[in-house]
Every structure is written in C-alpha cells, then in structure tokens.
Structure 1
Amino acid sequence: MADADVATRSPESDAQENVIPGDTPAQTGPTMGEHCTSDRPTPAGLAPKGELRKLGGVDVYLTKPESYPSNPSKLLLLLSSGTGIKSTNNQIQADKFAEEGFVVVMPDLFGGNPAPNSSLVPDAETGTSFLDRIKLKAAELAKSLVIDEWLARHTEEKVMPILEKVIDTCKSEFADAVGNGGGIYAVGYCFGGRYVLLLASERGQVQRGWSGFQKPADEEAGEGAGPVKKGPYIKAGALAHATLVSPDDFQGLKVPVSLVCVESDPMFPDDVRETGEDIMSKESVEHEVQVYPGVPHGFAVVGDYDDANIKDAQITAYEQILRWIKEH
C-alpha cells in the first residue's frame, strides 16, 4: 500500500480489516475509534492561543476573542473527543471558534484521565505468517479492552455533573457572554458529541446526590425522590461524528441541533442516525443532518490529511457548524 493511502485512511478501516472472527458490534459493545484517542498531525504553523485554568473546580481550556470583553461575545462549550483538553488539535479547534467571536470553554470531561492512546499499545509487525496474524489480532484486542475499561470509568453519571458545574460557573463568570447570546451554545466532537444531545434535551431524572445514590424523600424538600425535569442546558448545539450515541439520546430534544456525519461510520451507524432523524422530525425539533462521503471518522477536528477531499470536507464541516451556531 502506498504511503499516501496510509495517510488518508480512516483508523477504523484498519480495525475492520483485522476483526477477530466471530466479533460483532453486538458482542464487543459500543467503543471508540482511534481518532477519539489519538490526534492527527497538527497542521504546520498552527499553535494554541488560549490557557489552561480552573473553572468551577474543573480544569478547562479557555480561549477568548482578542476584542473580549470590549466587544460583545457569546459563550460556547466545546466538548472534545477522548484526547481531552491538553490535545493541541482540540485547543486549536477551540481557538477557531474564539476567532469568530465566542468565549470558548473546553472542559476536562475525564477528570485528568484522557483516553489511553491506543497507538501506545505495542503492535505486532504486519506479516504473512500465521503467527504474525495472530499477534496482530491479539494486539488489536488488547487495544479494544484498554478503551473499554476507560469508557467504564467515564459514563454519563460521571460526565454530566462535571458539565453542570462548568455551566453554573460560566453563568456567573461570563454572564455578559451568556446574556449576549441568550444562553449557552455547545459543539461536540466524537465522545463529546453525545453530550451535546444530552445538554440539548429535557429529561426526567431520579433526584440523586453527587455520589450517585438516591436521596431519601425527606431530603428533597417535600418533592420526594421521583423523577425531576432537568435541561435543556443550551440554546443550540452542533455535533460532529459522535460516538456512543443510542436512539434514546434523541428523545426529549428541545433546542436546534446540527449533525456532521460520516457515511457508513461504524462509530455512529446509519440506523442510529436515521432513527434519530425520524425522532427529531416527529418531535418538530429544528435540525439539520449532513452526511460526508469518502472521509474518515474524526475528520472534522483540526488535523492534517494528504487527501484534498478530506481537507475540503474538514473546512465545509467547520463552516456548517459555525453557521448553525451563529444563526441560532
């Protein structure tokens, strides 16, 4: 295979070719692609402009327009892939929105524990012998197990309280930006994409304490321990090549959402997307869905590709998201 082919292939295409016989998505469960755990090369000449700091006790990457606070801005949450807030590419992606007039807060969704870079798991050299093929498949299985273990530590029950803390603090520290935008906007990539849907919805939840245990009824000020309505937390949202999304995540949506999707994406299957579109249409949720053919999962995040089609799609996807949040 030519070097150019390797540079422009989706990481998931390698995994699909090396699936152990008998494995299926139903057997292995939801997981993430390699893009969600490692970055593409950073384009030459680009470097982050923001800062790492605490916000509501949560580590965040904060980047602002050069003219802020002299000129009015809006508040945008950027929810990253598993590579987290210290990823140079994620930081540059946040800076791009700051250049368009947004105060951008990218919270650490993982409590200082970003996804393990699966490329650091030793790979077997590709060869033609039966032993080499067994070694390669064993290495792929090891990668999958490492990611699955990490996902088990970063569930909705852990991530949503982090987002609630950040949102509450933003409403006070950046009240001008929140007020100027009439609310908070959110953009999510890969792992973060699903949480845009959750922030955009109104859901009935059992009242629980921070520990996750249900509170006794007498602690609920007479409200009991039954379902309570929470959300939506944002005014509008956009998500690109989300992972770990289920049809249920489209239930209860209350604000406009834009979806950047990859054609035949194993991380966000067509049937899940189509079911989501049906739900949004039936519930009269303002939405748009653009499916990009011939691009890998993760293409919309800043990163260098040799393929001109992927480069162009990356620009178009950013323009789609930017237009959506500016129009809403």
Structure 2
Amino acid sequence: MTTEQEQYLAKPPSACCFTGSLHEGTSRGHVENVLELPTYISRPPEGKANGNVVLYFPDVWGLSNNAQLLMDAYAAAGYLVLGLDYFRGDPISKYRATRNDPPPPGFDHPAWLAKHFAFAEGHVEPWAAAVREKFGTATTKYAVVGYCFGAPFVCQLLATDTVSAGAFAHPSRLKEDHFVALKHPLLLSCAETDGAFPSELRRKAVDVLQREKKVYHLQLFQGVSHGFASRGDLDNPYEKWCKEQSHSAIVSWFDLWLVRGEA
C-alpha cells in the first residue's frame, strides 16, 4: 500500500523551508484587506502598467520583506500584484528571531502547517474571485506565482479558468493530481539540491506533464538549494544571479501568455 508521504511528488514543507537569508530593501506597496484577508498590493510604476494582475502566494515566511520586494519586482515589470497572507499574521518568522534560528522548544511544526494549509486551501479561490471583482476589468488577465508553501495554490488556480498562466519555485506539497488537473501553462523554477523536490521526484513530475500533454517549461539551477528564489543569499553573486534569473524567466513567461495574447 502506498502511504500518503509516498504519494507526494513535492514533499510537504520541512526543515529546508524554514531557513534562509533576509533581504534588505524598502518595499513600495501596502497591505489592505481583501475578503477580510491581509493582502499586500504593489502597483506598477506610472506608464508601465500592462493592465494585468499577478496573484502571489508566499512561502512559510508569509508577507516578509523578501516577499514584498519580490512582489515589487513583478510590479516593476508592469503587473498589478496582490499577495495573500494566508497565515493571517502568524508566519513562521513569528517564532524565530532570524531565519536561521532553531524553532522554540516544543513548537509543533506539523500542527502549524496543517492549520494554515487547511485555511489557505479553502480561501484561495474565494480570495482570487474577490480580487477579480475589486481590481479587474473585462480585459484583465491573471497570472499566479507561488514559492514553496504557495505551489499547491498555483496548481489549484491553474486547474480553473481564473488565471491564464502560472509559475512556482522550489515547490512543496504537490501530488500527481496537481499536475494532471492543470488547464493552463506552468513554469517550474527548480533547484538542483532540494529536499522537498529532489531530482527523482522532479523527473516523475515532468513525466506526468509530458504524458498528459501539458504546456510547461522547466528551469533547473545547478549549485543552489531549496529557497533560492525567495530567500537565497544575495551576498553570493551566483545565488543572486539564480534568484534574478528565476524572476526574469517567470516575468517573461507571464508576458508570453498574458501580454502577447498567447492565452
């Protein structure tokens, strides 16, 4: 009998998801409630707006400064960006002074993950619908991007007609069904060394995408590990380059399907 753990093509968040580097910089957006859920909103610079929207699903650090700076970068490319705080003020950073601190004694990681995953799973689609109603027009197209914890929700929306394209980086908690159900193009931005999405499981995921004839693109970065795209060490020139290349590829992917009319 196959256990639930063995069914995963990208494993649930674990130790590799709870560490990383803090990024410096001043974010440009603001937080307001959408469907009574905290939402970071970053708008494109004047004259650069392309009329489309990116929905952003963060890793376990929630609407951290890292996440806000990443969302600002998507906004700088012309998109209105909205990021959902499905942790509702209870990200993993609340329990650690820095990203590399051990958890406090007795902290129950599985319980924390289960609580927030269940909430997110039930609120992503209503939140996305509220975003469309409040911020969209008849011509607006939507893309979705997620990091680690956010990957399943990228697939959840790509299985609907809510969005035109999606991407995730160093994903977690994905099963074969997530890939089978895709209706729209997916970009996978992956690390060579990834405890949550190791090479043998990544190859299985690609096998599923090929078998099911899905539209996808896989990029694989040698020499970096899980978390490189959202909390990599920016003092390391190569890690910084990988992070920037991941973001640039995702923007180009969204431009292809939303801006150039391919979707």
TM-score range, shorter chain: 0.7 to 0.9
Return the alpha-carbon distance in structure 2 between the equivalents of residues 80 and 153 of structure 1. Answer: 16
Aligned-pair Cα RMSD in Å: 2.8
User: What is the DSSP-based 3-state SS (H/G/I as helix, E as strand, rest coil) of the residue aligned with 2:172?
Assistant: coil
Q: Deviations over 1:246-282 (max 9, x none)?
A: 2232121110000011113111122322222111112
User: For residue 221 of structure 1, what is the aligned residue in structure 2?
Assistant: none
Q: Is the 8 A contact 1:58 1:162 kept in 2?
A: no
Q: Structure 1 runs of 4+ off > 6 angstroms?
A: none
TM-score, normalised with respect to structure 2: 0.84
Map 1:272-283 to 2 at 5 A: 272-283=201-212
Higher relative contact order (CA 8 A, sep 6+): 2
Higher relative strand content: 2
User: For residue 58 of structure 1, what is the aligned residue in structure 2?
Assistant: 37
User: For residue 76 of structure 1, what is the aligned residue in structure 2?
Assistant: 54
TM-aligned CA deviation for residue 41 of structure 1? 2.5
- Does residue 286 (structure 1) correspond to residue 263 (structure 2)? The answer is no
User: For residue 126 of structure 2, what is the aligned residue in structure 1?
Assistant: 165
TM-aligned CA deviation for residue 192 of structure 1? 0.6
Report the CA distance shift for 1:271/1:198 in structure 2 as closer, same or farther (over 3 A): farther
Gaps of 5+ in 2: 258-263
User: For residue 149 of structure 1, what is the aligned residue in structure 2?
Assistant: 111
User: What is the DSSP-based 3-state SS (H/G/I as helix, E as strand, rest coil) of the residue aligned with 2:44?
Assistant: coil
Return the alpha-carbon distance in structure 2 between the equivalents of residues 118 and 306 of structure 1. Answer: 25
Q: Is the 8 A contact 1:38 1:118 kept in 2?
A: no
User: For residue 69 of structure 2, what is the aligned residue in structure 1?
Assistant: 92
TM-score, normalised with respect to structure 1: 0.68
Q: Is the 8 A contact 1:251 1:279 kept in 2?
A: yes
Return the alpha-carbon distance in structure 1 between the equivalents of residues 157 and 240 of structure 2. Answer: 30
- Does residue 246 (structure 1) correspond to residue 175 (structure 2)? The answer is yes
Q: Is the 8 A contact 1:238 1:321 kept in 2?
A: yes
User: For residue 261 of structure 2, what is the aligned residue in structure 1?
Assistant: none
Bigger Rg, which one: 1
- Does residue 42 (structure 1) correspond to residue 4 (structure 2)? The answer is no
- Does residue 196 (structure 1) correspond to residue 158 (structure 2)? The answer is no
Count, aligned residues: 249
Report the CA distance shift for 1:299/1:147 in structure 2 as closer, same or farther (over 3 A): same
Letter in 2 for 1:109: Y
User: What is the DSSP-based 3-state SS (H/G/I as helix, E as strand, rest coil) of the residue aligned with 2:201?
Assistant: helix
Letter in 2 for 1:108: D
Return the alpha-carbon distance in structure 1 between the equivalents of residues 246 and 121 of structure 2. Answer: 26
Q: Is the 8 A contact 2:53 2:81 kept in 1?
A: yes
Gaps of 5+ in 1: 1-24, 125-138, 202-230
TM-aligned CA deviation for residue 33 of structure 1? 4.4
Return the alpha-carbon distance in structure 2 between the equivalents of residues 246 and 324 of structure 1. Answer: 23
Return the alpha-carbon distance in structure 1 between the equivalents of residues 114 and 140 of structure 2. Answer: 38
Return the alpha-carbon distance in structure 1 between the equivalents of residues 157 and 111 of structure 2. Answer: 25
Q: Deviations over 1:194-240 (max 9, x none)?
A: 21112112xxxxxxxxxxxxxxxxxxxxxxxxxxxxx2432100000
Return the alpha-carbon distance in structure 1 between the equivalents of residues 46 and 61 of structure 2. Answer: 29
Q: Deviations over 1:105-158 (max 9, x none)?
A: 00111233222556459x99xxxxxxxxxxxxxx78968x62212112123x42
User: What is the DSSP-based 3-state SS (H/G/I as helix, E as strand, rest coil) of the residue aligned with 2:33?
Assistant: strand
Give the % identical residues. Answer: 25
Q: Is the 8 A contact 1:72 1:180 kept in 2?
A: no
Return the alpha-carbon distance in structure 1 between the equivalents of residues 61 and 12 of structure 2. Answer: 14
Letter in 2 for 1:161: G
Comparing 158-167 with 33-42, which one deviates more in the overlay?
33-42
Map 1:250-261 to 2 at 5 A: 250-261=179-190
Q: Is the 8 A contact 1:247 1:272 kept in 2?
A: no
Return the alpha-carbon distance in structure 1 between the equivalents of residues 241 and 14 of structure 2. Answer: 22
User: For residue 299 of structure 1, what is the aligned residue in structure 2?
Assistant: 228
Q: Deviations over 1:264-321 (max 9, x none)?
A: 3111122322222111112211101111110121111165433222121111111111
Report the CA distance shift for 1:142/1:247 in structure 2 as closer, same or farther (over 3 A): farther
Report the CA distance shift for 1:246/1:100 in structure 2 as closer, same or farther (over 3 A): same
